[in-house]
């Protein structure tokens, strides 16, 4: 697979630059060892925690397994230290597919400690989640996750190679098949559990293979942003489904949310959903090179204010609702985040390779992306509008609560809320919606 080879070549250039940046007490590093991570266990138990390999390791290799290592040294083919312990409790075999395996010199070992003899006297840095593992291999403490290198790598992760974009597209194609099946299940009376299982089956996916825990919320539960349960009770009278669910392909996750209503749902809520669908696509169209991501966030709040006024859910002007933060009560999260090997990908607040941070606006501390958009970036656009009693009720007796039509809000609490989320690529041509192209 030529695209993967090109991807590895791009990574090679990045890692060379990252190494060039590092110099501490006049010492340079000659090589980097990138670790997938260690298997974790629950306290006082032999049951293991579901393993998720570290992002910078997955960037090189689509093998989601503990204690695998990439050894990068400039001018040398990257080495994959493939650790395959002898074990009859678990399947430890790893199948090397030529499309990725050809890009590495593969050294198969039975135990992590055997790596040490390959490192010899080289000054090797360690990139990974487990310091004690690094120490076992003989890495100097000062060379574990050197800040300058991590900042550089985190920052660059936002720019996807054509190989990565292909993985993200495929992850979207699969997710859309799942969303279509979930919608059908809901319209035919399925409960949260059944909708969840239908989604998983349509994506041909196990829970541990999914990029994040599916959010499958009916009616009032749609107002809980990360609602994590799956109710099995009778749901034939449910009016609203909010499902936030993705798929993972070679480590790359999609992150897609759809809201569906039945014909019999509250008229105002149906209009709100129609408005949110349009609004979301307007926001996607804004995502051009040179735009600061927080501008899209502010536009979302403004447009939601307009929509709430148009539908008589709020009174006044969109400017007033922004100023009084009433809009924020209806969308209390950021409009999206960087996407890739992690669903909330790294480097969202970083402004440069040296780690300078631009924090999110103080009224939306959960905005996970404050970067300026440029070609190759992939992120989500996910405006939402919710009826959250916890946020709205205290305003009933307050001055700014006068801007809210409480009679209508009381009727809409049972509908929960709306979120519409697509995955977006900034391309040469401007914007590419990685999600809607499969619908
Ligand atoms: Mn998301």
Give the domain-ending residue among 156, 175, 199.
156
- Strands (DSSP E) contained in 190-312 are 215-218, 240-245, 248-249, 252-253, 256-261
Give the domain-ending residue among 135, 156, 177.
156
Which domain CATH number covers 16? 3.40.350.10
Q: Distance from the CA of 274 to the center of ligand 1, in angstroms?
A: 20
Q: 249: which strand partners?
A: 252
Q: Distance from the CA of 296 to the center of ligand 1, in angstroms?
A: 15
Taking residues 129-141, what's their average pLDDT? Answer: 94
Structure tokens belonging to residue 286: 């804004």
Do 183 and 256 share a domain, yes or no? yes
Do 151 and 177 share a domain, yes or no? no
Which ranges of 102-191 would DSSP assign to H, the alpha helix?
116-119, 131-137, 147-156, 162-187
Do 106 and 240 share a domain, yes or no? no
Give residue-wise pLDDT tens across range 400-427.
999 999 999 999 999 999 999 999 999 9
Contact indicator for 36, 67 with CB cutoff of 8 Å: yes
Q: Which residue has the tokens 């809210």?
A: 404
Q: Distance from the CA of 302 to the center of ligand 1, in angstroms?
A: 20
Q: Angle CA(78)–CA(129)–CA(252) in degrees, nearest 5? A: 65
Percent of the chain whose pLDDT exceeds 70:
99
Q: Distance from the CA of 244 to the center of ligand 1, in angstroms?
A: 8
Give the count of domains, the chain.
2
Do 111 and 207 share a domain, yes or no? no
Q: Distance from the CA of 34 to the center of ligand 1, in angstroms?
A: 27
Taking residues 281-294, what's their average pLDDT? Answer: 97
Do 104 and 202 share a domain, yes or no? no
pLDDT at 115: 96
pLDDT at 1: 57
Q: Distance from the CA of 279 to the center of ligand 1, in angstroms?
A: 17
Q: Distance from the CA of 380 to the center of ligand 1, in angstroms?
A: 6
Contact indicator for 435, 256 with CB cutoff of 8 Å: yes
Q: Distance from the CA of 249 to the center of ligand 1, in angstroms?
A: 17
Q: Distance from the CA of 25 to the center of ligand 1, in angstroms?
A: 42
Q: Distance from the CA of 325 to the center of ligand 1, in angstroms?
A: 22
Residue 367 has pLDDT above 90, yes or no: yes
Domain that holds residue 178: 162-438
pLDDT at 236: 87
Q: Distance from the CA of 246 to the center of ligand 1, in angstroms?
A: 9
Do 277 and 387 share a domain, yes or no? yes
Q: How confident is the model at residue 27 (pLDDT cuts 50, 70, 90)?
A: confident
Do 144 and 173 share a domain, yes or no? no
Q: Distance from the CA of 212 to the center of ligand 1, in angstroms?
A: 10
Q: How confident is the model at residue 214 (pLDDT cuts 50, 70, 90)?
A: very high
Q: Distance from the CA of 425 to the center of ligand 1, in angstroms?
A: 14
Q: Distance from the CA of 158 to the center of ligand 1, in angstroms?
A: 15
C-alpha–C-alpha distance, residues 166 and 252, integer Å: 10
Do 276 and 384 share a domain, yes or no? yes
**What is the rounded radius of gyration, in angstroms, for the C-alpha atoms of the chain?**
24
pTM of the entire predicted model: 0.97
Q: Distance from the CA of 149 to the center of ligand 1, in angstroms?
A: 27
Which domain CATH number covers 265? 3.90.230.10
Do 194 and 105 share a domain, yes or no? no
Q: Distance from the CA of 382 to the center of ligand 1, in angstroms?
A: 7
Contact indicator for 81, 118 with CB cutoff of 8 Å: yes
Do 409 and 336 share a domain, yes or no? yes
Do 152 and 181 share a domain, yes or no? no
Give the domain-ending residue among 98, 122, 156.
156
Do 132 and 173 share a domain, yes or no? no
Buried b (16+ CB within 10 A) or exposed e, 303-313: bbbbbbbebeb
């Amino acid at each position: 697979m030529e695209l993967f080879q090109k991807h590895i070549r791009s990574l090679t250039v990045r890692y060379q630059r990252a190494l060039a940046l590092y110099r501490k007490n006049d010492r340079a590093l000659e090589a980097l060892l990138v670790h997938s991570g260690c298997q974790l266990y629950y306290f006082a138990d032999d049951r293991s925690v579901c393993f998720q390999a570290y992002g910078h390791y997955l960037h090189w290799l689509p093998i989601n397994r503990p204690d695998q290592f990439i050894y990068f040294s400039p001018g040398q083919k990257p080495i994959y230290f493939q650790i395959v312990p002898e074990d009859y409790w678990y399947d430890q075999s790893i199948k090397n597919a030529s499309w990725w395996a050809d890009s590495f010199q593969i050294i198969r070992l039975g135990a992590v400690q055997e790596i040490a003899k390959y490192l010899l006297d080289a000054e090797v840095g360690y990139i990974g989640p487990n310091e004690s593992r690094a120490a076992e291999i003989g890495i100097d403490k000062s060379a574990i996750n050197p800040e300058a290198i991590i900042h550089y790598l985190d920052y660059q992760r936002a720019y996807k190679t054509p190989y990565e974009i292909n993985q993200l597209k495929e992850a979207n194609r699969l997710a859309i098949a799942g969303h279509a099946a979930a919608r059908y299940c809901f319209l035919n009376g399925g409960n949260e559990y059944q909708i969840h299982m239908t989604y998983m089956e349509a994506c041909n996916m196990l829970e541990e293979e999914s990029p994040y825990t599916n959010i499958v919320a009916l009616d009032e539960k749609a107002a809980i942003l990360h609602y994590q349960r799956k109710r099995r009770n009778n749901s034939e009278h449910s009016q609203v489904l909010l499902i936030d669910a993705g798929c993972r392909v070679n480590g790359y996750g999609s992150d897609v949310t759809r809201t569906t209503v039945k014909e019999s749902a509250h008229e105002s809520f149906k209009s709100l959903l129609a408005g949110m669908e349009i609004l979301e696509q307007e926001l996607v169209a804004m995502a051009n090179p040179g735009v600061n991501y927080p501008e899209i966030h502010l536009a979302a709040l403004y447009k939601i204010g307009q929509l709430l006024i148009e539908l008589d859910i709020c009174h006044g002007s969109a400017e007033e609702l922004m100023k009084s933060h009433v809009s924020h009560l209806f969308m209390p999260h950021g409009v999206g985040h960087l996407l890739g090997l992690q669903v909330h990908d790294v480097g969202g607040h970083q402004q440069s390779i040296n780690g300078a941070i631009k924090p999110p606006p103080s009224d939306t501390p959960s905005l996970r992306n404050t970067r300026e958009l440029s070609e190759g970036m992939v992120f989500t656009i996910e405006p939402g509008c919710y009826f959250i009693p916890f946020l709205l009720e205290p305003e009933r007796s307050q001055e700014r609560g006068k801007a809210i039509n409480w009679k209508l809000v009381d009727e809409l609490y049972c509908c929960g809320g709306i979120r519409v989320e697509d995955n977006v690529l900034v391309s040469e041509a401007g914007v590419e919606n990685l999600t809607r192209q499969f619908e």
